Copies of this chain bind each other. A is one copy, B any other.
Amino acid sequence: MARWESGTQERLQRAALDLFAEHGYDGVTVAQIAAHAGLTERTFFRWFADKREVLFRGQEEFEQAFLTGMTAAPDGDAMSLAMAGLAGGAAPFTAERHPWARARQRAIDAHPALRERELLKLSALATALTGALTDRGVGPVPAALAAESAVVVFRTAFTAWIAGDGARPFAEVQAEVLAELHALLAAARA
């Protein structure tokens, strides 16, 4: 209970996103972000490992949602299991969070350093999914393929969802993208 002003990380994140939107990632120093949140540079680095990380708070919960979505699924083939995780992962992306997600993604897309970090987070997600699949007895190569495919579906759906106005539920977009992937591979088999 907050001996000090609570929500330090969130304040820093908001300050960073605001400043990035206005001056660009390179045009903002960590000291400025911290000052904007009423803190010092040193404190920023106590809460975030580096300047990029400030836009990627709460990654563990997101990853966990994916994993629980998968472990909740009944046994099945590797790809179905991996795709079952998508349902859990879709939870945080509600219509009301759409504007925030959009602003954040805009900032990320604007700078390679932030895109790099996003890719690393998605890669970590794929690795976690792969591990969960091998724990269920799937071989390493099929597990990796299924996990990476699930992440591709997620990312593609997320891009489409962000491009829209948020009215369409994320889960719906994701189901559509998944169907499209199935259709594509079915066509290639012909």
Instruction: Point out residues on A near B: beta carbons under 8 Å.
Output: 77-80, 83, 112, 115-117, 119-120, 123, 141-142, 144-146, 148-149, 152-153, 155-156, 159-160, 177, 180-182, 184-190
Contact = CB atoms under 8 A, between A and B. Distances in A.
Contact of A180 (B120, B141, B152): B141
Contacts of A83: 188
* A-B pairs, 7 with minimum CB distance: A79-B188, A119-B119, A77-B187, A116-B116, A148-B152, A185-B185, A79-B184
Contacts of A160: 141
Contacts of A180: 141-142, 145
A189 B182 contact: yes
Contacts of A77: 184, 187-188, 190
A118 to B, nearest CB: 9
Nearest to A160: B141
A187 B119 contact: no
Given A80-B188, A112-B120, A148-B152, 19 more contacts: A77-B187, A78-B184, A79-B188, A115-B123, A116-B117, A116-B119, A116-B120, A119-B119, A141-B180, A144-B156, A144-B159, A145-B152, A145-B153, A145-B181, A145-B184, A152-B152, A181-B185, A182-B185, A182-B188
A70 to B, nearest CB: 14
A180 B153 CA distance: 18
28 contacts: A77-B184, A77-B188, A77-B190, A78-B184, A79-B184, A79-B187, A80-B187, A83-B188, A115-B120, A115-B123, A116-B119, A142-B180, A142-B184, A144-B156, A144-B159, A145-B177, A145-B181, A145-B184, A146-B184, A148-B155, A149-B149, A149-B152, A149-B181, A149-B184, A149-B185, A182-B188, A182-B189, A186-B189
